[in-house]
Structure 1
Amino acid sequence: MKNILNWPSLMLVLILALVISGCNTGGDSSSGSGGSGDNTSEAKGTIEQIKERGKLIAGVKYDTKLFGLKDPASGEVEGFDIDIAKALAKQILGDETKVELKEVTSKTRIPLLQNGDIDIIIATMTITDERKEQVDFSDVYFEAGQSLLVKNDSDITGLESLGGVKVLAVKGSTSAQNIREKAPDAEVLEFDNYQDAFTALKAGKGEALTTDNIILIGMQQTDNNYKLVGGNFTSEPYGMAIRKGDSAFVSEVNSLLKSLQDSGDYDTLHEKWLGAKPE
């Protein structure tokens, strides 16, 4: 009986059993892990996620009159970009009210898109080569140009007048970069959003505010003590931003733009918010 228990052999069997068990456990863990489920979720296109959720989540501005401005009294957000977001919700879900508007700024919009907090950016966003490395863009849906906003009695007439001048801009915008390149002797002060920048201009913290002309026109409409000067010194083609690689959603958004153009609804929206049909 004593010879039946061969301890070296028994130990070898136990070790082999543990190895085999470990391999099987590892395989099961890999095939059924949360990571695999997450990858499946990530593989879903934005359109599919929108339909499963039952609403479109659009990143829009809350501080940009004419394009996206929140009324503090009613809490409603209105503007050209807002109506584009509603039209997209109607195309995908059949109901323009099935849209959640989430506030973004020039600084936060790309991170929010990349993190999956929003489905699309519709927020006066200029298409640039640098941004194309981070997101995909729709076709151009609005053509703007950078300009300057100053007090009516200001001596500033354009870029040539900005030497030693404090110019206000918004963080994360192309405007701040452009003004540094085109007026290198100006002192650029950056703010989180357009409301803060305009408040700073009215408080005398700077002598000019720079961004896209149509945004400045919106500011001017709220306070006629200011004027635009210098004309448009850049081209700012706006596009809607989509997560990198989601070509199906890009096509969906572009089909919306074509539909709006073909039906005349784009001209109607342009006239509604900007006072005239596009030239």
Structure 2
Amino acid sequence: MKKRLRFLNLLVALGALLLVLSSCGSQPLSQRNVLKTDQKEKTITWGVKGDTRLFGLLDTKDNQIKGFEVDLATALTKQMLGKDAHAKFIQVTSSTRMPMLKNGNIDAIIATMTNTPERRKQVDFSNTYFYAGQSLLVKKGSRIKNIHDLNKYHGTVLGVVGSDSVENVKKAAPDARVLQMTDYAQAMTSLKAGQGEALTTDNGILYGMSVQNPGYVVTGGSFVSEPYGIAMDKGQGDFKAEVNRALSELRKNGEYDRLVHKWFHNVKGFDYEEAEKQ
């Protein structure tokens, strides 16, 4: 009888412990103070692209993601938390970045993400850190010279799932056919295979593709403005204010300009004045 009573008491104690632990973990992610947590841990976890040359590309030689956004995130981390702070990077795609932010897997997104009214319903954005415009990438000699040609010839344009570029094309060229791929690497492969006549996204990304693929050129100018902002979860006002303060300081001390020139100085047709607009 005593053994049974001790067993029951143990079960009650375990139940109480589980209740305490579950209640401790029941705080909504939106109520976490990301800035205070990061200051304590001296680390900011960033969601970055791993398939976008110039902005964030996985280097298979050392398994490190490298690019303008990676370097900018590192500079922001040290500006916000101190020179000994650490920037941690987790690879995201256009379709996974928002869910990963909402799930608390990352603190912020710096991944060629355009600040749009629709997205602002779900997340907050920092000030603009790169001003891009949507364009087209085509094979040299293509009959497609601009967005109007896609509409005129009922051409097929390739985009990426989770990017607003596809919706922009549907509005600008309603008669064009749109194919959505998982990521930019797959989209580029499909363009080379002739599955589409053009690939569309922000010109900053397309410049990187043209550097890697000399037989393809950016064309058509910018038919939609694409201001990139750092995305963070709603309710993180302290974190947002500190990101904006750090970004402003990097612009003032010349580090921002140095990073832009580091990554884009050899890109034909790149407009520094346009890209660095605030």
Same fold (TM over 0.5): yes
1:220 corresponds to which residue? 210
CA distances 1:65-107 after superposition (whole Å, capped 9, x unpaired): 1110111122121111001110122123324671221111111
1:161 corresponds to which residue? 149
2:112 corresponds to which residue? 124
* 1:142 to 2:130 alignment: yes
Task: Verify the 8 A CA contact 2:42 2:85 in the aligned structure 1.
Answer: no
Against the structure 1 CA distance between its residues 117 and 217, is the aligned structure 2 distance closer, same or farther, given a 3 Å change threshold?
same
Between the two proteins, the alignment pairs up a number of residues equal to 252
CA distance in structure 2 between the partners assigned to 1:123 and 1:182 by the alignment: 24
Q: Which moved more, 1:205-214 or 1:71-80?
A: 71-80
1:4 corresponds to which residue? none
Task: Verify the 8 A CA contact 1:168 1:209 in the aligned structure 2.
Answer: yes
CA distance in structure 2 between the partners assigned to 1:267 and 1:100 by the alignment: 23
Q: Provide TM-score, normalisation by structure 2.
A: 0.85
Q: Which one-letter code corresponds to 1:229 in the other structure?
A: T
Q: Which one-letter code corresponds to 1:260 in the other structure?
A: L
CA distance in structure 1 between the partners assigned to 2:260 and 2:186 by the alignment: 26
The alpha carbon displacement at 1:168 in A equals 0.2
The alpha carbon displacement at 1:53 in A equals 3.6
Residue in structure 1 matching 2:82, options 84, 94, 101 = 94
2:53 corresponds to which residue? 65
The alpha carbon displacement at 1:267 in A equals 0.9
The alpha carbon displacement at 1:222 in A equals 0.5
Q: Provide TM-score, normalisation by structure 1.
A: 0.85
The alignment partner of 1:49 has SS state of: helix
CA distance in structure 1 between the partners assigned to 2:122 and 2:99 by the alignment: 10
Cα RMSD between the aligned structures?
2.1
CA distances 1:93-135 after superposition (whole Å, capped 9, x unpaired): 3246712211111111000000000010000000001100110
| Structure 1 gap segments, 5+ residues each | 1-24
* 1:278 to 2:272 alignment: yes
1:49 corresponds to which residue? 37
* 1:253 to 2:243 alignment: yes
The alpha carbon displacement at 1:201 in A equals 0.5
Against the structure 1 CA distance between its residues 98 and 208, is the aligned structure 2 distance closer, same or farther, given a 3 Å change threshold?
same
The alignment partner of 1:162 has SS state of: helix
The alignment partner of 1:91 has SS state of: helix
CA distances 1:12-36 after superposition (whole Å, capped 9, x unpaired): xxxxxxxxxxxxx9xxx7xx73354
Residue in structure 1 matching 2:168, options 174, 178, 190 = 178
The alpha carbon displacement at 1:265 in A equals 1.0
Task: Verify the 8 A CA contact 2:137 2:200 in the aligned structure 1.
Answer: yes
* 1:197 to 2:197 alignment: no
Against the structure 1 CA distance between its residues 66 and 97, is the aligned structure 2 distance closer, same or farther, given a 3 Å change threshold?
farther
The alpha carbon displacement at 1:154 in A equals 0.6
The alpha carbon displacement at 1:278 in A equals 3.2
The alignment partner of 2:272 has SS state of: coil
Task: Verify the 8 A CA contact 2:80 2:246 in the aligned structure 1.
Answer: no
CA distance in structure 1 between the partners assigned to 2:162 and 2:236 by the alignment: 24
Structure 1 or 2, whichever has the larger Rg, is 1
Larger relative CO (CA 8 A, sep 6+): 1 or 2?
2
* 1:37 to 2:30 alignment: no
Task: Verify the 8 A CA contact 2:210 2:216 in the aligned structure 1.
Answer: yes
CA distance in structure 1 between the partners assigned to 2:255 and 2:163 by the alignment: 29
Q: Which moved more, 1:191-200 or 1:94-103?
A: 94-103
Q: Structure 1 stretches (4+) deviating beyond 4 angstroms?
A: 39-42
Task: Verify the 8 A CA contact 1:143 1:237 in the aligned structure 2.
Answer: yes
The alpha carbon displacement at 1:261 in A equals 0.9
